[in-house]
Structure 1
Amino acid sequence: MTVPEVEARDVPAEAYLLDVREQDEWVAGHAPEAVHIPMTQIQSRLDEVPGDRTVYVVCRVGGRSLQVAAWLNQVGREAINVDGGMRSWEHEKRPMVSETGQQPFVA
């Protein structure tokens, strides 16, 4: 099954963005409107993922998010992988915030 992908620059501003990175990566820098559910928790927290809209899944470079997007599509959600992950997001100068009060960065 092929997983749909989109470049970071093409993720709509109003998109439901699911960040599946680990806590330390999230704290360092993430998209302001993203929802954080680490990849290791996605199965137990599936009820938090909307079933009525497209979910854009992001990680650091695109590998973990590809796996999560594939699984979400298998269980009936509509998911799209963000190709290049937060590294591409940062490269495209898309908005980012950190949880530390410091300048956000992709860990």
Structure 2
Amino acid sequence: MKEITTIEVQNLIEKGEQLHVVDVREADEVAAGTIPGAIHIPLGDIPARISELDVSKSYILICRSGARSGRATAFLTEKGYDVANMVGGILEWEGETE
């Protein structure tokens, strides 16, 4: 499974990289703050909403600590998507949130 650290994600944002971030937490968790521009698809909805993701793009998956996004990363990798799990999740995120 591909992984990326919170520091690596922050560095990419600071360099102006166009990132595709998917937050797999529940709505109440996302309401407390997420990475700017992240799209919200709760983990349990990933199979039903997979068509919302473009298989030609790379995605960074995030959650609270990295466990749920790890499960989503494994699932999407099996389906042919280029995805990376942000290890440490929002708990370790030090950048801006919205």
The one of 47, 50, 53 aligned to 1:46: 50
Matched, 1:67 2:65: no
User: Where in structure 1 are there 5+ consecutive unaligned residues?
Assistant: 98-107
Q: CA RMSD in A?
A: 0.8
User: Which residue does 1:96 correspond to in 2?
Assistant: 97
User: Which residue does 2:6 correspond to in 1?
Assistant: 8
User: Which residue does 2:27 correspond to in 1?
Assistant: 23
**3-state SS in 2 of match to 1:55:** strand
In 2, distance between residues paired with 1:9 and 1:34? 16
Identity level (%):
33
Greater share of helix residues, 1 or 2?
2
Q: Give the number of the structure whose alpha-carbon radius of gyration is greater.
A: 1
Q: TM-score by structure 2 length?
A: 0.90
Amino acid of the residue matched to residue 68 of structure 1?
Answer: A
**3-state SS in 2 of match to 1:86:** helix
User: Where in structure 2 are there 5+ consecutive unaligned residues?
Assistant: none
Q: Structure 1: which 4+ aligned runs deviate by more than 6 Å?
A: none
